[in-house]
Amino acid sequence: MSNKSSPSLNTSIDLPPLPAGFVAALARIFAASDLLTQPEDCWTYGYDNSRRHVPPQAVVFPTTHGQVAATVAVCNDYLVPLTARGRGTGTTGATVPLKGGLVMSMERMNQVLEFSPDNRYIRVQPGITNQQVQDFVKKKGFFWPPDPTSAAFCSIGGNLAYNSAGPRAVKYGTPRENTLGLRAVTGAGKEIKVGVFTSKGVVGLDLTRLIIGSEGTLAVITEATLKLTPLPEATKTLRAVYKDVFAAAQAVAAIMAQPVVPCALEFIDGNAINMIRQYSTCDLPENAGAILMMEVDGQLDGLDSAAQKVADSARNDGLLDIRVAQTKEEVAALWQTRKALSPALRKVAPKKINEDVVVPVTEIPTLIAGLDELSKHYQLPIINFGHAGNGNIHVNLLLDPDDPEQSARAHQCLDEVFSLVLKLNGTLSGEHGVGLEKRDFVDRELDANSLDLMRAIQKQFDPNGILNAGKMLPLVIDPFQSHSE
């Protein structure tokens, strides 16, 4: 077993002072209300939705592309590390300013710049929330497919930085498939426009998809042109209950092998079901070992037939019960099971470890069986649920991280979880990203030559290594060695 572990929480890191003249240079770009330098004011911008925190030494709030470009230039001039930040909903520590320096909060870049319903795109600044975009385009009958759980709070820039998707990815894809182009400023301070405004385009290399998912290590996104999809006329909701995970995984493979692709195909394992029973009054068979929640969308005509095809594919010898909701009340009742899970988890283990891994659909049973064995070995409850249609499982280790012995067991367990995932031809993250949490495990998944190529690409975008230093790829040379972890 590897001795690697994630960087520890650090709230009292010793940082050298900012270079003389740096803050004055920022003051020439930003009004006083858009520049923070007092420690108590900057403190909030040192964390995300992980349990990690390092306070920045200054924070700026740009509202224009020009301010972003000028700020990146100043950080290069003074060699100050720069961390771009959205709304802080990420769980991997990717926006924690590990080296202090400057945080650039994009929250005030929240404008719709252009909406072209006839061309099915919207151009926005990165600080606008996912929900604000959905509400804006819904009036004209559209939606943007990526729908992370935190949609009401997370920013479009954050969605793009992590390539965060959500349940609808099984049918509609991730941000990479739903973004036409970007405007950005590279780590070298160079202004670029990449991508297209059309549904087709093959001129040059695809830098749009390269920047999406790069966690702010290549460039700071200042505009995004998002590809929109017409809202479906209607949806149908189904819930299938199985005696075990193997039967549920069989059903997932069968569902995904037929022509009607569900817009949601969610999985809940037996451990999660048992927890739900303790904290809700959900109507479930006593011997339920796994649940699939499914939704089908499209034109009203033919939707019943489409739902029936999915239901037929979901049937096998392990099926205990399957229901198709006919009314809004029945839809709410079926989703009650899934909605009861998050409150239950927060009550039992508010500081749980939540990792999103992905395995081939056929390997879901082996993954869950292996996780059950690890749960017994390390004496830690493990609750699993997620997006079954693409094998994206959220693995929740329930622990009290304030207990040093329990925390040590949890990190040893997590090490083996990642080994199991890779053994099954999986990947360490589907939508949460890498950040700090998985950085030191990445070289298990990626070979040395691929990592060298990725570092060379980073160097081309960011020659001084100022952008989100110390994130995503395993460390080789720290450009800010005096700012040690």
Q: Give 18-64 as a 3 state SS string.
A: CCCCHHHHHHCCCCHHHEECCHHHHHHHHECCCCCECCCCEEECCCC
pLDDT at site 10: 52
pLDDT at site 135: 98
Alpha-carbon distance of 238 to 334, in angstroms, equals: 8
Angle subtended at Cα 220 by Cα 16 and Cα 182, rounded to the nearest 5 degrees: 175
Q: Is the pLDDT of residue 375 over 60?
A: yes
Q: Is the pLDDT of residue 37 over 60?
A: yes
Q: How confident is the model at residue 61 (pLDDT cuts 50, 70, 90)?
A: very high
More confident residue, 286 or 293: 293
- Least confident range from 185-199, 260-274, 330-344: namely 330-344
- Least confident range from 4-8, 31-35, 259-263, 417-421: namely 4-8
Q: Is the pLDDT of residue 13 over 80?
A: no
Mean pLDDT of 375-389: 94
pLDDT at site 344: 80
Mean pLDDT of 426-432: 94
Asked if 191 and 172 count as a contact pair (C-beta separation under 8 A), the reply is: no
Write down the CATH superfamily of domain 232-433: FAD-linked oxidases, C-terminal domain (3.40.462.10)
Q: Which amino acid is at 173?
A: G
> How many residues in total does the chain contain?
485
Asked if 410 and 416 count as a contact pair (C-beta separation under 8 A), the reply is: no
Please return the burial class of 117, using the count of CB atoms within 10 Å of its CB with bins 0-12, 13-18 and 19+: middle
Q: Is the pLDDT of residue 233 over 70?
A: yes
Q: How confident is the model at residue 342 (pLDDT cuts 50, 70, 90)?
A: confident
In the chain, where the domains are located: 112-230, 232-433
DSSP for 108-165? T---EEEEETTTTEEEE-TTSBHHHHHHHHHTTTEE-S---TTTTT-BHHHHHHHT--
Question: How many other C-beta atoms can be found within 10 angstroms of the C-beta atom of residue 396?
Answer: 23
- Looking at domain 112-230, which CATH architecture does it have? 2-Layer Sandwich (3.30)
More confident residue, 8 or 177: 177
Q: At what angle are helices 303-314 and 245-256 packed, to 10 degrees?
A: 140
Q: Which residues of 363-379 are buried (b: 16+ CB within 10 A; e: fewer)?
A: bbbbbbebbbebbeebe
Q: Which residues of 310-331 are buried (b: 16+ CB within 10 A; e: fewer)?
A: bbebbeeebbbebebbeeeeeb
Q: How confident is the model at residue 339 (pLDDT cuts 50, 70, 90)?
A: confident
Report CA-CA distances (Å) from 237 to 292, 307, 333, 404: 11, 8, 10, 44
Alpha-carbon distance of 320 to 292, in angstroms, equals: 12
Question: How many other C-beta atoms can be found within 10 angstroms of the C-beta atom of residue 119?
Answer: 15
Alpha-carbon distance of 138 to 254, in angstroms, equals: 33
Q: How confident is the model at residue 50 (pLDDT cuts 50, 70, 90)?
A: confident
Closest of 223, 169, 156 to residue 195, by C-alpha: 223
Query: What are the percentages of helix, strand and coil residues in the chain, rounded to 5?
Result: 35, 20, 45
- CA torsion 76→82→87→92, rounded to 10°? 140
Report CA-CA distances (Å) from 228 to 3, 199, 361: 45, 11, 28
Mean pLDDT of 318-323: 96
Q: What is the mean pLDDT of the chain?
A: 92
Residue 393 pairs with which residues in a beta bridge?
357, 386
- Least confident range from 135-144, 293-302, 401-410, 476-485: namely 476-485
Closest of 199, 247, 201, 225 to residue 126, by C-alpha: 225
Strands 392-397, 319-324: pairing is unpaired
Q: Find the DSSP H helices in 206-349.
A: 207-211, 245-256, 270-279, 303-314, 328-339, 341-348
Q: How confident is the model at residue 27 (pLDDT cuts 50, 70, 90)?
A: very high
Q: Is the pLDDT of residue 8 over 50?
A: no
- Least confident range from 35-49, 191-205, 330-344: namely 330-344
Question: How many other C-beta atoms can be found within 10 angstroms of the C-beta atom of residue 261?
Answer: 17
pLDDT at site 198: 95
Q: Is the pLDDT of residue 11 over 80?
A: no
pLDDT at site 7: 41
Alpha-carbon distance of 472 to 341, in angstroms, equals: 30
Residue with tokens 């040192």, as numbered in its chain:
46
Mean pLDDT of 393-419: 93
Alpha-carbon distance of 91 to 77, in angstroms, equals: 31
Per cent of the chain over pLDDT 70 is 95
Q: Is the pLDDT of residue 443 over 50?
A: yes
pLDDT at site 21: 97
Per cent of the chain over pLDDT 90 is 82
Residues 152-190: tens digit of each pLDDT: 999 999 999 999 998 999 999 999 999 999 999 999 999
Strands 112-116, 319-324: pairing is unpaired
